[in-house]
Amino acid sequence: MNKKFSRLLEPNLKLYFFCMLLFSAAAVPFKPMLAAVEAAATAALYLYFRSSAQKRKQGILQYINNLTGSVDAASKSTLINSPLPIMVFRPDTGEVIWSNEDFLQLAGVREHVFEIKVEDTVPDFPVEWLLEGKQECPERVAMNSRRFRVYGSLVRAKGRDGSQNLVATTYWVDTTEYDAMRERFEESRPIVAILTVDNYEDLMKVSGEAQRSAIQAQIDEKLSRWAVDSGLLVKTNRDRYLLLMEEKDYARLVADKFSVLDAMREVGGEGAHPTLSIGVGKDAEGMAELYKNAALSLEMALSRGGDQAVVRGKLDFEFYGGRAKSTEKRTKVKSRVMANALGELMDDARQVYIMGHNFADMDAVGAAAGLCCAARKLGKQPQVVIDLNHNAAGEILKKLRARPEYAGVFIGGNEALLRMQPGALLIVVDTNRPDFVESPSLLESCNRVAVIDHHRRAASYIENAALNFHEPYASSASELVTELLQYLVEPSDLLGEEAEALLAGIVLDTKHFTMRTGGRTFEAAAFLRRAGADTSDVQKLFQNDLDEMVSRYDIIRQAELYHGDIAVSVVEADGVERVTAAQAADELLTLKGVQASFVVYRSGTDVLMSARSLGDINVQVILETLGGGGNSTTAGGRIENADPETVGAQLRDAIDAYLEK
């Protein structure tokens, strides 16, 4: 009722006529003649209003009809006379409804394509994108040796029987020439590679005067033959080369898996073979950036032991090769320079924090203990960041904590983060990966970081370090720290427990001086012996109880030989300790004919892997494909939310891929 009343009061012509009739009615008692004239005039005006309104309405309807007809005519004309090829079909049945002449010519059909299927005209044409509401096909469509970008839309049309049918209208844009031009551009993009002979100096030393020229000529000949169809090879130094190539040449090298790495090891005589490292820079804006990426890739290749190719793209690194044994290639000059630099960093720092990898082992603890001695010598009170409840160095930690010099030295990552002040120095030992450290948040918070590590560098590593003492040829981080200590402290400054911790770290990573040992390893051990390390006490640190021994031999019992010389043990049961798994992997290497060993075991909801090798098989390259890391003879990894059986299958696939290279 209220709506009707309010509508009545709205200002319109009907309201005005109604008011005029009211005034006419009000005038009847006084002047009937005037009232009649007013009523007649009002009625005449109302009739005129109705007549003109009706004409106006008809005119508007006629205009709309004419406009709609023009739009329909324009739409039909657009479909018929469109400069683009057009095909209309039903996506549910694939039945072609209509196409224009241009599409018929492209499809090679002389007559109209009515009542045939889309796949008969355009084989393998996808229709899912139309049903998903997209207006462009996500991939190019090939038809009669041409390539097209296809646009389209989907509507519902009423059939003759009244049913609703889906009808798709597609527009075809020929991109054959454009795609060919783009491919030519992509294939011609420049790529820079830097090549260096890893062991050139050592090779020249062991070769006679007459052999040196011959070896050099063989190296040049191998590289020239390999690069003859790959680009421009320029020799910039006696052991260094620059290769400029295009993307299409690089694709061939990748398909060939950089065969020059294997060919280079054929040069030379008995016991003296050169190895090659290649750093490649690609996907950069200019030549300067390409060369920078190539130099960075070469540095990565050398830090991983050489004899490999490393490619630096926009986002990450790619690795090829890396199967040869690493040879010792260090000088005491570098150790002295690094020792002086580390001493200056410690002296300038307000606080000194030392941190290893998570679940620290004896090598990480030993290296940390050695750096604590150097910090004490400089008058600093160091702090070692470690989880005292989860580590693999309980016995040596117990010895160190019993000394008054180590009162309050060992702290957790959260406590260190709260204590850290501006100007603090963080020294990371026994790892170079930011995701492997004891406290990643502490690493991110500190702006002065030093890294001391012997593992081969992974794709993700600690960047922008103030000091980076990275030697993949060293046996252990403890060996590197011991070399630094020879320039920072006197043997008498080392506590007996610190010397034993360092020696235990070397013994652990060298498997009692049987793996990855060089002359420098024994020199470091001799220095520690002079500093008071008791070898019998160190040996006791590696003793196990009966339960650990039973668990270790249970892991060995489940091992199977893969490819005849690789022992793989997949343990489904819970409760396997990291140390026990690592010892089982070590002991598997004592089996006759075994060149490498892998232990896969459960740790909560995750799966851990421990790998060992005698040197001929690079276990780091294998586990890198599964997210692990380490060095050529010792590696490990973790896969979250997995089961050992699945990871074991992935490991076997990774081994197959490695052996196929």
User: Residue 68 domain-assigned?
Assistant: yes
Select the more confidently predicted residue: 376 or 621.
Answer: 376
Q: How far apart are CA 264 and CA 472, in angstroms?
A: 21
Same domain as 518, residue 377: yes
CA pair distance 364, 481, nearest whole angstrom: 10
Residue 56 and residue 92 in one domain? no
Report the CATH number that the domain containing residue 269 is assigned in CATH. 3.30.70.270
- Specify the number of domains making up the chain: 5
The pLDDT of residue 213 is above 60: yes
Overall average pLDDT of the 365-386 stretch:
95
506's tokens = 């070397």
Considering the domain architecture, whether residues 481 and 509 belong to the same structural domain is answered as yes
**Cβ contact 438:358 at 8 Å:** yes
pLDDT at 499: 95
What is the span of the domain harbouring residue 616?
A: 546-660
| C-alpha dist (Å) from residue 388 to 359, 362, 435, 478 | 9, 13, 19, 20
Mean pLDDT of 147-173: 80
**pLDDT at residue 631, rounded to an integer:** 79
Residues 466, 505 within the same domain: yes
Query: How many angstroms separate the CA atoms of 158 and 452, rounded?
Result: 75
Which helix (H) or strand (E) segment holds residue 205: the answer is helix 200-206
- CA-nearest of 219, 243, 248 to 233 is 243
Q: Do 515 and 593 share a domain, yes or no? A: no
Distance CA(303)–CA(359), nearest Å, equals 24
Which two structure tokens, joined as six digits, stand for 535?
A: 């070898």
Max Cα separation, the chain? 144
Contact 114, 97 (CB under 8 A): yes
What's the CATH code of the domain at 100? 3.30.450.20
Q: How far apart are CA 525 and CA 533, in angstroms?
A: 9
Whether residue 134 is contained in a domain is answered as yes
Give me the sheet containing 96-99, strands edge to edge.
Answer: 96-99, 86-89, 164-174, 146-158, 141-143
Contacts of residue 370, defined as CB under 8 A and 6 or more positions apart, other chains included, come to 478, 481, 482, 484, 485, 494, 498, 501, 502
Q: Are 215 and 268 in contact (CB under 8 A)?
A: yes
The per-residue pLDDT for 9 is 45
Do 442 and 476 share a structural domain?
yes
- Nearest CA to 195 out of 285, 310, 312 is that of 310
φ, ψ of residue 321 to 5 degrees: the values are: 85, -145
Query: CB burial class (10 A; 0-12, 13-18, 19+) of residue 438?
Result: buried
336 and 419 share a domain? yes
Q: What is the predicted pLDDT for the residue at 8?
A: 46
Question: What is the SS3 assignment for 259?
Answer: coil
Last residue of a domain, one of 490, 509, 540: 540
| 342 and 472 both lie in a single domain | yes
Q: Is residue 517 part of a domain?
A: yes
- Residue 387 is assigned to a structural domain of this protein: yes
**How far is Cα 35 from Cα 24, in angstroms, rounded to an integer?**
5
Question: What CATH number is associated with residue 377?
Answer: 3.90.1640.10
Q: Which two tokens stand for residue 182?
A: 């783009």
Rounded mean pLDDT, 60-83: 57
Q: Compute how many other C-beta atoms are within 10 angstroms of the C-beta atom of residue 382.
A: 23
For 185, phi and psi rounded to 5 degrees? -65, -45
Question: Highest-confidence range of 7-11, 525-529, 621-625, by mean pLDDT?
Answer: 525-529
Cα–Cα distance measured from residue 67 to residue 65, given in angstroms and rounded to the nearest whole number: 5
- The answer to whether residue 326 sits within a structural domain is no
Distance CA 70, CA 312 (A): 60
**pLDDT attached to residue 271:** 57
Q: Which of 123, 147, 182 is the last residue of a domain?
A: 182
Does residue 299 sit in the same domain as residue 367? no
All residues at 6 or more sequence positions from 649 whose CB lies less than 8 Å from its CB, including other chains: none
The 3-state DSSP class for residue 411 equals strand
Which three-class secondary structure state does DSSP give residue 365? helix
Q: 10 Å Cβ neighbour count for 61?
A: 10
**pLDDT given at position 194:** 94
Beta-carbon contacts of residue 56 (< 8 Å; ≥ 6 apart): none
Instruction: Give the pLDDT confidence score for residue 192 in this predicted structure.
Output: 94
pLDDT at 59 over 70: no
Cα 395 from Cα 600, distance rounded (Å): 26
117 — pLDDT class (breaks 50, 70, 90): confident
> 520 and 395 in one domain?
yes
Domain finish residue from 47, 81, 115: 81
Same domain, 59 and 118: no
- pLDDT digit string, tens, across residues 536-592: 899 888 887 888 889 999 999 999 999 999 999 999 988 888 889 988 999 999 999
In-domain check, residue 327: no
462 and 505 housed in the same domain: yes
258 domain-assigned: yes
Strands of the 559-562 sheet, one edge to the other: 559-562, 566-571, 596-603, 606-613, 634-639, 629-630
The CATH number assigned to the domain holding 566 equals 3.10.310.30
**What single string gives the DSSP state of each residue in 275-322?**
-EEEEEE-S-SSHHHHHHHHHHHHHHHHHTTSSEEEEE-SS-EEEEE-
Per-residue model confidence as pLDDT tens digits over 405-419 = 999 999 999 999 999
What pLDDT does 123 receive? 81
Residue 269 pLDDT: 59
- pLDDT, tens only, 295-339: 989 988 887 778 889 999 887 788 888 765 555 555 677 888 899
3-class DSSP string for 27-93: HCCCCHHHHHHHHHHHHHHHHHHHHHHHHHHHHHHHHHHHHHHHHHHHHHHHHHHCCCCEEEECCCC
**pLDDT of 55:** 75
Q: Report pLDDT digits (tens) over 577-621.
A: 888 998 899 999 999 999 999 999 998 889 999 999 988 888 988
Q: Which residue has the higher pLDDT, 513 or 25?
A: 513
pLDDT in tens, 92-105: 888 888 888 788 78
- The tokens describing 625, both together, are 């494909």
pLDDT at site 61:
62
Provide the pLDDT confidence category of residue 7 given band limits of 50, 70 and 90: very low
